[in-house]
Amino acid sequence: MDTRRTPRAVIDPKVRKVGFFAPPEPSQSGLPDPIPLPSSSLSPVMIPPPRHSSENLLHHARPPASVVSGASSVSIEGSVVAGGSYGSSSELFPAPMSPASSSYSSSRFVGGGDGDYCLNGVAVASPGRGGGKAAASFPRGGFELTEAKASSVPASELTTVSVVNDSSLGIRERDKADNGRGSALEMKDQTANSKQKKDKTTKAERRALQEAQRAAKAAAKAEGNKASGNVTSGNAKPAKATKPPQKYEHGSLLPDLEAKFFQLDTVHPAVYKAGLQYLSGNIYGSNARCIAMLQAFQDAIRDYRVPPEKTLVRDLTAKISSYVSFLIECRPLSISMGNAIKFLKTRIAKLPLTLSESESKASLHSDIERFINEKIILADKVIVKHAVTKIRDGDVLLTYGLSSAVEMLLLHAHDLGKQFRVIIVDSRPQLRGKILLRRLVEKGLSCTYTQINALSYIMHEVTRVFLGASSILSNGTVYSGVGTACVAMIAHSFRVPVLVCCEAYKFNERVQLDSICSNELGDPEVISKVLGREDVNYLDGWANTENLQLLNLVYDATPSDYISMIVTDYGMVPPTSVPVIEKEEEEDLTSHHHRRQTGTHKTGNGGDDRVLAPPVEDEEEDDVVATKQRRRPRSDFSYGCTKKKTRWLDGDDAVALGGGGTVAMSWREEERKKDD
């Protein structure tokens, strides 16, 4: 073992009680209630609500969150949660204004008297005798008289037989018809009124108000449903309100959301499609999800028109926020998506006021385009270029699950003619390793496929572990698909270097010490069922069991101690250097004129050697220079990185680091080299 390496206590894998916890309240902002338990020293952890189902917003009257006794709640010892959970990072996703504005249906109820609309003359006329003539006589005949070509059927003209003047009218009339609904309407008006008052109230008051309103609304709604009989049961679920708060609603969410397809007309179709694809699992992987989201936003921005008497910057930001909250409803955002949204919002906020609407939209469009190209596609290319240098002939590489970066890396290495073997470790329930396996085998790589249970056996022969990541947190913790931590830990105990491939845009400033404090809950149904094994049905009907809680975590956190190296588009860095990259990336994303071209990064020496390293107390080596004064290098992970100086138009003298350069390997790797 390298003696220079300062002995660092490897954090033991934390063993925690994962027990029962109260279903968190579906708060609007997603803020976990910070209710301290005085009697217990353990702080209960609320897993953030998996989704704000619109059902909740509309129908559910949930009691204010009550935390069950400390003993039975999930406990962590001394964990620091910075930043917060998905929903709570409020600077990313500002909380919706009020229940009224966030519940989709309510926007149709426009306040005001009944007499404020006038009917357009209802044109009833004989349907087109001579096509053109008929159309000319109708005021609404806005259709061109193009002849349908290549058809034997003469084109027919449309006759407007009934016109809706005010789109809210129909619904309003129906609501008037039955009293129950009428009260719901009033409730909504009330909410709208309270919106003005809102500004002066404190956060806590607002929350209380919201809660009360939601309860009242749900009650009114339930009444309304009763009063109107079964008429509305086509898409409303009257029985919902009486059910006890459900632990998980994923199963019912997709049909619900699909049924509401046309009701949610505030959501752009492209965004809606992306959301549905997240929800149904058609798109997975944080890169793909991020790209899908950004492309949806591109479409939405293209179709966006600034409403009269509004400014683009504010209105578009609000619009994007509403889209984001819809996407969250479908599936919690990944950190990469959060970063991308942050980027987009910064770009919107920094749009010069002098730009016209179309110029602004074009600018945003190209910004998104550039983000996708630079931060994801080129970044992946650079990552592959770096990481492939770590693959040598005769290697046995192990990967877990499906990571787009790792897949590209393996295929690239294969294209270069390197001789190596791949072991794909997979786990239920997603079994995405199979997808990777299929594609690798198709390309002619020699693969071994195994389940995670066999990991300790297979690890003997492995020379390197390549993993993907959903995010890398600033303490070097790798936040990735569940099971990654297990793989990394076993590899660590077998002294196999673990390399994590992660684009820099996925880095996040928050710190998370374990997997439970912020995570996404998957559908518990999928772990209770085994595909193709109908006979394994011991857990059928589990939802009715009071004392059973199935836990299907989607992500886990791997402590940095088990990670040898992180491969990013800035080069290969040890996990301790993450804050530097994170800072660079942050500046890059939020800078006004960002001119960094990832594509121009060159491998090789483009400048003086610099080192990225986080602040660390001990300073032993002199050959390392911190990029910034406050950052102190860490000795045992010394490495050089080419630096590329870029002109920052705003005069920032920050240093953008070119990717590539020589990279010192982790001690273990050096050790291996010696062995070789």
**In the window 573-602, what residues touch other proteins (CB under 8 A)?**
none
Q: Cβ distance 46 to 33 under 8 Å?
A: yes
Using CA atoms, how far apart are residues 501 and 565, in angstroms rounded to an integer?
9
Instruction: Please identify, using beta-carbon distances, which residue of 68 and 122 lies nearer to other proteins.
Output: 122
CB of 307 to other proteins, least distance (A): 18
Interaction between residue 387 and other proteins (CB under 8 A) = no
Q: Report 345-384 residues binding other proteins (CB under 8 A).
A: 372-373, 376-378, 380-381
Instruction: Please identify, using beta-carbon distances, which residue of 414 and 668 lies nearer to other proteins.
Output: 414
Q: Which of 404, 450, 638, 662 binds other proteins (CB under 8 A)?
A: 404
Q: For tokens 């609603």, name the residue.
A: 249
Instruction: Please identify, using beta-carbon distances, which residue of 339 and 635 lies nearer to other proteins.
Output: 339
**CA-based nearest residue to 264, from 310, 205, 206, 329:** 329
CB of 131 to other proteins, least distance (A): 10
Instruction: Please identify, using beta-carbon distances, which residue of 239 and 349 lies nearer to other proteins.
Output: 239
Q: Report 235-294 residues binding other proteins (CB under 8 A).
A: 235, 255, 257-263, 265, 269, 272-273, 276-277, 280-285, 287-289, 291-292
Instruction: Please identify, using beta-carbon distances, which residue of 173 and 415 lies nearer to other proteins.
Output: 173
CB of 178 to other proteins, least distance (A): 10
Interaction between residue 526 and other proteins (CB under 8 A) = no
The torsion region of residue 414 among left (phi > 0), alpha (psi -120 to 50) and beta comes to: alpha
Phi and psi of 624, rounded to 5°?
Answer: -110, 140
Interaction between residue 107 and other proteins (CB under 8 A) = no
Q: Report 137-156 residues binding other proteins (CB under 8 A).
A: 140, 143-144, 146-156
Q: Cβ distance 518 to 48 under 8 Å?
A: yes
Q: 3-state class of 447 per DSSP?
A: strand
CB of 419 to other proteins, least distance (A): 21
Interaction between residue 177 and other proteins (CB under 8 A) = no
Distance between alpha carbon 151 and the CA centroid of its chain, in Å?
Answer: 48
Interaction between residue 163 and other proteins (CB under 8 A) = yes
Q: 3-state class of 507 per DSSP?
A: strand
Q: Cβ distance 584 to 504 under 8 Å?
A: yes
CB of 652 to other proteins, least distance (A): 28
b/e map of 595-627 (b: 16 or more CB within 10 Å)?
A: ebebeebebeebeeebbbbbebeeeeeeebebb
Q: Cβ distance 247 to 23 under 8 Å?
A: yes
Interaction between residue 536 and other proteins (CB under 8 A) = no
CB of 424 to other proteins, least distance (A): 15
Using CA atoms, how far apart are residues 217 and 221, in angstroms rounded to an integer?
6
Q: Which of 175, 367, 407, 523 binds other proteins (CB under 8 A)?
A: 407
Instruction: Please identify, using beta-carbon distances, which residue of 262 and 457 lies nearer to other proteins.
Output: 262
CB of 509 to other proteins, least distance (A): 25
Binding mask 437-456 for other proteins (x = CB under 8 A): --x--xx-------------
Q: For residue 1, give both structure tokens.
A: 């073992």
Which stretch, 95-103, 233-241, 418-426, 665-673, contacts other proteins (CB under 8 A)?
233-241
**CA-based nearest residue to 180, from 256, 238, 102:** 238
Amino acid at site 653: D
Q: Which of 69, 201, 230, 446 binds other proteins (CB under 8 A)?
A: 230
Which stretch, 20-28, 225-233, 323-331, 457-465, contacts other proteins (CB under 8 A)?
225-233
Amino acid at site 235: N
Using CA atoms, how far apart are residues 205 and 556, in angstroms rounded to an integer?
35
CB of 406 to other proteins, least distance (A): 12
Please tell me the count of residues contacting other proteins according to CB under 8 A: 81
Torsion of CA 322, 557, 371, 303, to 10 degrees: -20
Q: Report 121-140 residues binding other proteins (CB under 8 A).
A: 122, 124, 126-129, 140
Number of Cα atoms under 13 Å in the Cβ half of residue 270: 15
* Run of H or E residues at 615: none
Instruction: Please identify, using beta-carbon distances, which residue of 107 and 605 lies nearer to other proteins.
Output: 107
Interaction between residue 670 and other proteins (CB under 8 A) = no
Task: Order across the sheet with 446-451: list the strands.
Answer: 446-451, 420-426, 395-400, 464-468, 498-501, 565-568, 571-573
Number of Cα atoms under 13 Å in the Cβ half of residue 371: 32
Instruction: Please identify, using beta-carbon distances, which residue of 165 and 201 lies nearer to other proteins.
Output: 165
CB of 595 to other proteins, least distance (A): 18
Distance between alpha carbon 650 and the CA centroid of its chain, in Å?
Answer: 31
Instruction: Please identify, using beta-carbon distances, which residue of 333 and 641 lies nearer to other proteins.
Output: 333
Using CA atoms, how far apart are residues 225 and 236, in angstroms rounded to an integer?
8
Using CA atoms, how far apart are residues 103 and 245, in angstroms rounded to an integer?
19
Interaction between residue 162 and other proteins (CB under 8 A) = yes
Instruction: Please identify, using beta-carbon distances, which residue of 257 and 611 lies nearer to other proteins.
Output: 257
Interaction between residue 35 and other proteins (CB under 8 A) = no
Q: Report 290-329 residues binding other proteins (CB under 8 A).
A: 291-292
Instruction: Please identify, using beta-carbon distances, which residue of 207 and 240 lies nearer to other proteins.
Output: 240
Interaction between residue 197 and other proteins (CB under 8 A) = no
Phi and psi of 451, rounded to 5°?
Answer: -90, 165
Instruction: Please identify, using beta-carbon distances, which residue of 257 and 580 lies nearer to other proteins.
Output: 257
CB of 259 to other proteins, least distance (A): 4
Using CA atoms, how far apart are residues 159 and 140, in angstroms rounded to an integer?
9
